[in-house]
Amino acid sequence: MLQHGGPDGRYLARGEMWALGATRLAVTDPTGSAQPYRLGDQIRVVFNGEIYNHHDLRKELEGFGYKFPDRCGGSILPALYHRYGQDFVEHLDGMYGIAVLDLRGLPTLILATDEAGMKPIYYHRAGGQMFFSSEIGALRSLADIGGHRDINGSTPTSARGLRSGDERCSPTSMFCLQRPPQW
């Protein structure tokens, strides 16, 4: 997990054949925001960024009966996904990299990025596994997934330092991966 940008909290959740972790810099509600955010045992979300319209979305979702454990912007994401499915990103105004793990039915991983690509998501698939992170260094530390280093670009949102097999989600993209029940 990342070591800079705080960390004001480190979180890890695991299940059979999956793990989600997050490192947090506390900006809003320093006592809240334990990631992965969750809705029951079936929807888990990790998030990097800021949702500018989270107050309005919270009010809307509370009107539908959803309850939230804290005042953090990211805590609305599981309910927003539950309500709108993959269209949940259409309701977001902000800069974000979001990973949703939906364990209802066929297990599904959704990676979504903001339209400017300010909060990128990098991923690597190898040996039937999927690794992802909001930073290249963290992606490398997740596992010995090999590949040679291929440096390119030099802007803050570039794919600098990607290895062979590493990928970066494009701005305004959604990546969806489904696995059979034996996942």
- The tens digit of pLDDT for each residue in 101-149 reads 999 988 899 999 999 989 988 888 877 788 888 888 777 776 555 543 4
Q: What is the pLDDT of residues 53-74, one digit of tens each?
A: 999 999 999 999 999 988 889 9
Q: Is 4 within a domain?
A: no
Domain count, the chain: 1
Q: Is 1 within a domain?
A: no
From residue 6, alpha-carbon distances to 27, 32, 126, 168 in Å are 10, 15, 30, 24
Q: What CATH number does residue 116 fall under?
A: 3.60.20.10
Q: Is 64 within a domain?
A: yes
Q: Is 48 within a domain?
A: yes
Give the pLDDT of residue 96.
94
Half-sphere exposure in the Cβ direction for 42 (13 Å, CA): 8
What pTM was computed for the model? 0.80
Give the pLDDT of residue 61.
98
* CA 104/CA 50 separation, integer angstroms: 27
Q: Is 183 within a domain?
A: no
From residue 176, alpha-carbon distances to 13, 107, 129 in Å are 20, 10, 14
- 38 vs 144, more confident: 38
Where in the sequence is the domain holding 66, given as residue range(s)? 9-178
Contact 131, 166 (CB under 8 A): no
Q: Is 98 within a domain?
A: yes
